[in-house]
A = this chain, B = another copy of it.
Amino acid sequence: MAQLFVCRGGDEMPRWREAFAEARLVGPGQARAQAGTGDRVWVMSDLEAWPRLVATLSQRGAILCVLSHAPNSLEAFQALGAGARGYAHALSPPELLRQVETVVTHQGIWVWPELLARVVGGAFRTLGGEAMLQEETLACLTERERAVALAVAEGLSNKAVARRLAITERTVKAHLGAVFRKLGVRDRMQLILKLSRQEQNAL
């Protein structure tokens, strides 16, 4: 689980040393040669072809963070799109770098706070139109049917659904029958699969 800072040879980076005593400063070539699964790799965005390097190491299982001297939303998207999990200012204080590391090693995403709002907003615009499949499938259900379907999708039994909705188990069966008919599924198992794999199908 090495800690690598990828930058041009001439850079001196005391903050990184201060943040991670065991870190090593390497060039792009060394990074390609050394980085492997689980390694934390910090890449400067002023390197030539940094997105390519990020993508390569990311697919190899390394955890990538991109550091920029002039953070902007376009670059942030490039970084995340290439597989980076973090995007921060290159001059971030050591405490912040350690915080970023904590986040990314726990499967989180860390984005330069000033950019976060714009990043989220931009992604929302790009995805807003295409991710409505679930909307479609649940829209044809009545309020009660939808409630029953979602409860069943949690793995609850008919009896448990009845308790939650304060109705009879018999009524649950009635609604569930309507759900099966409308969604074209045979039983609750296929319903669970349908609802829990919406995103997969939407691809």
Closest to A164 in B: B10
Closest to A121 in B: B81
> Which of A22-30, A105-113, A172-180 lies at the interface?
A105-113
Considering only residues 98-155 of chain A, those with a C-beta below 8 Å from chain B are 99-100, 102-104, 106-111, 113-116, 118-121, 123-135, 150, 153-155
Chain B residue contacts of A127, Cβ below 8 A? 37, 61, 73-74, 77, 118-119
Chain B residue contacts of A90, Cβ below 8 A? 154
Q: Give the interface SS of chain A, mostly helix, strand, loop or mixed.
A: helix
Chain B residue contacts of A124, Cβ below 8 A? 58, 77, 80-81, 83
Q: Is B123 in contact with A72, judged by CB distance below 8 angstroms? A: no
Chain B residue contacts of A190, Cβ below 8 A? 155
A180: shortest Cβ distance to chain B, in Å?
13
- The list of the 4 closest CB pairs from A to B, nearest first, reads A103-B108, A73-B131, A108-B108, A77-B124
